[in-house]
Amino acid sequence: RLGDVITATAVYEDVSEEKKTALGTGYFLTWLTTYTDQNGEVLGRQRFRVLRFRPER
């Protein structure tokens, strides 16, 4: 609602074992962001996963 103060808190949820892909060797990182209002009520959650890798040469 208009006037609410929204806070986002992100935490790493998971780091995978090392993976070998066509792009290179890396890890999948997953983090969870929780959105709350000024009263501490949870408004929503977002899970995000990304591959961090070292390019093959």
Render pLDDT for 12-46 as a digit per residue (tens, 0 to 9): 999 999 998 888 899 999 999 999 999 999 999 99
* Domain-embedded: residue 17: yes
Residue count of the chain, please give it.
57
* Domain-embedded: residue 57: no
pLDDT, residue 54, reads 79
Q: What are phi and psi of 22, to 5 degrees?
A: -65, -25
* Domain-embedded: residue 21: yes
The residue segments making up the domain with residue 22 are: 7-52
* Domain-embedded: residue 25: yes
CA distance 10 to 45: 10
pLDDT, residue 17, reads 95
* Domain-embedded: residue 1: no
How many domains does the chain fold into? Answer: 1
Residue 25 in contact with residue 52, Cβ under 8 Å? no
* Domain-embedded: residue 29: yes
* Domain-embedded: residue 40: yes
Structure tokens at 28: 């999948």
